[in-house]
Amino acid sequence: MIGGRMSNESFITLFMIGVLVVLFGVSCVIVPRFYLPRNMINLLTNNWYIIMLGIGVTFLLITGNFDMSVGGVIAMTGVLSVWFCQDATASQNALAVGLGLPYGVAIALALLCAMGIGAINAFFIARLKVPSIIITLGTMMIARGVAQIVAQGAQRNTSLPDVFGVLGGLTIPGMSVKLSVLVMAVLIVAAFVFEKKTVAGRRTYLIGANSVAARLSGVNVRRHLTSLFIISSLLAGITGILLSSEFKAGGASRAMGYEFDALVISLLGGVSIAGGFGSVLGMFVGAVILSVVTSAATGLLLSPDWQFTIKGVVTFIAILAQRFALDKRKG
């Protein structure tokens, strides 16, 4: 009675790990120097910003909701964090004049604005029950629009305090790992614990599996969704801060299309858009798969123009294989 089979989630995650191993093996054979440890580390870490977004996106997908606003939030937070701490003294160039706030205050305010986007999402989706795809597409454009206005369609990168570039440039002493990657790793572990071990994690699945039953079972669905939307925006905001610090600039067109990448890695990891099913670990594996494929394509000297097509085809095949495997198992 006790034992039982592994859950469908574990099965899909293992299945995608298998796919990853096969893809990696093939790439090692056909792409020169693909097997080098240095490259392997790159594969795990060069997508850190998509993985950070993937955490929020995955949990929201599990509740049956989309968050398409995360890319826009990155751009907005990045541009705002620059603007807030740029020198306030007049200059010829309007893009060089900011509010002159201390850096700490600047990022705190920028993150608050990011959470504001999450709060707007939550208000319309959790309270007024508007479909999440509509609202978050709207806030995606609003956030990006704020970035466009403040950066005047270009980017802000002058008269910044020296401290601005520290966060994004920091590496962990002794390793060649960036602070951003470490943040990602910590967040992944935290998300994994949240998902598997906490009551709140469990409620996320209950809402996605049957939100009516969840409500009748005493889950405060509205409050839970609100928290998740705000957290997702906050994660995107942190990503925006780190990226703008790394580039020492806030650009209006930063992170264009990242919301789709975050969605793709979640789907690759087996998260169901119908809700109630999926895992953060799966999402991480999905991210690495995507990374292996794009990196192998680059290694094979395919022109970057092919990137989108290759991503598309891999996503297609992987998700079809996944559904097939799951049906087989159920059958």
Partner 1 sequence: MELTDNVLEIRDLVKDFPSVRAVNRVSFDIKRNTVHCLVGENGAGKSTLIKILTGATTRSGGSILLNGEAYTPHSTRDAKQHGISTLFQELNVVDQLTVEENLTLGMEDTTLGFLRKTDKINTMVNVMKSLEPSITPRQLVSTLSVAKKQIVEIAKAVATESDIIIMDEPTAAISESEIKRLFAIIKSLREKNVTVIYISHRLDEIFELGDYVTVMRDGKHIDTKPVSEIKDRSELVKMMIGKTVFEQYTPKEGECKDAILQVCNLSNHKLRDISFEVHEGEIIGFYGLVGAGKTELARAIYGVDPYEGEILFRGKKLPPFPDKVIAAGIALVPEERRSQGLFTILTIRGNVPVMNMRKISRNGFINAGQERKVTLDYIDKLRISTSSMEKEASKLSGGNQQKVVLAKCLFADADLLMLDEPTRGIDVGAKSEIYGIIRQLSKEGKSIMIFSSELPEVVNICDTIYLLYDGRMKATLRNGCDIDSEKILHIVTGGNVTSAADYRGSGDGGE
Of residues 36 and 202, the one with the C-beta less far from partner 1: 202
* Main-chain phi, psi angles of 33, to 5 degrees: 60, 20
Cβ 197 to partner 1 shortest distance, Å: 5
Of residues 269 and 276, the one with the C-beta less far from partner 1: 276
What Å distances lie between residue 141 and 121, 137, 201, CA to CA?
12, 7, 30
d(CA 18, CA 286): 11
Q: Residues 201-207: contacts with CB within 8 Å, 24+ apart?
A: 204/59, 204/62, 204/63, 204/228, 205/62, 205/276, 205/277, 207/63, 207/64, 207/275
Of residues 58 and 77, the one with the C-beta less far from partner 1: 58
Give yes or no for a contact between 118 and 234, defined as CB atoms under 8 angstroms apart: yes
Cβ 330 to partner 1 shortest distance, Å: 9
Of residues 210 and 298, the one with the C-beta less far from partner 1: 210
Cβ 287 to partner 1 shortest distance, Å: 25
- Amino acid identity, residue 216? L
| Contact residues for partner 1, defined by CB under 8 A | 1-5, 7, 197-200, 202-203, 205-206, 209-210, 212-220, 276-277
Q: Residues 309-318: contacts with CB within 8 Å, 24+ apart?
A: 311/264, 314/289, 314/290, 315/264, 315/267, 315/268, 315/290, 318/16, 318/19, 318/268, 318/286, 318/289
Give yes or no for a contact between 56 and 228, defined as CB atoms under 8 angstroms apart: yes
* Nearest residue to 326 via CA among 260, 261, 282, 281: 282
Of residues 97 and 280, the one with the C-beta less far from partner 1: 280
Of residues 157 and 322, the one with the C-beta less far from partner 1: 322
d(CA 84, CA 250): 11
Of residues 66 and 205, the one with the C-beta less far from partner 1: 205
